[in-house]
Amino acid sequence: MLLDKPDITWNNEGAEILFLELADLFDLKERYESLRHKTENLMDITEVFAMITHAKRGTRLEWMIIILIALDIVISIMEKAFFK
């Protein structure tokens, strides 16, 4: 949609010629493709970092659960040993 011609170019041939010349002069298609490619790369990088962060959080949560289960076992053993 960014590269679409404005409405005035449909009615005015001079405006269409001007638009095409300016688009060619400023390399709009090449710049748009370059910008789109860079944006897609940034989206991919952001997605990877989000997955890494999520994995680290999940790992931390798993370790907390393991530690809590171990503490529960230790407390149960101590209660049985001292309150026989």
The domain limits of the chain are 8-82
* pLDDT of res. 48: 96
Return all residues near 2 (Cβ < 8 A) that are at least 6 apart. Answer: 32
Give CA separation, 83 vs 76, 77, 78, 79, in Å.
Answer: 10, 10, 8, 6
Q: 61 falls in which pLDDT band (50, 70, 90)? A: very high
Q: Please give the structure tokens belonging to residue 10.
A: 């449909």
How many angstroms separate the CA atoms of 16 and 22, rounded?
Answer: 10
Quote the CA–CA distance of 32 and 54 in Å, as a whole number: 33
pLDDT tens profile 7-49: 888 899 999 999 999 999 999 999 999 999 999 999 999 999 9
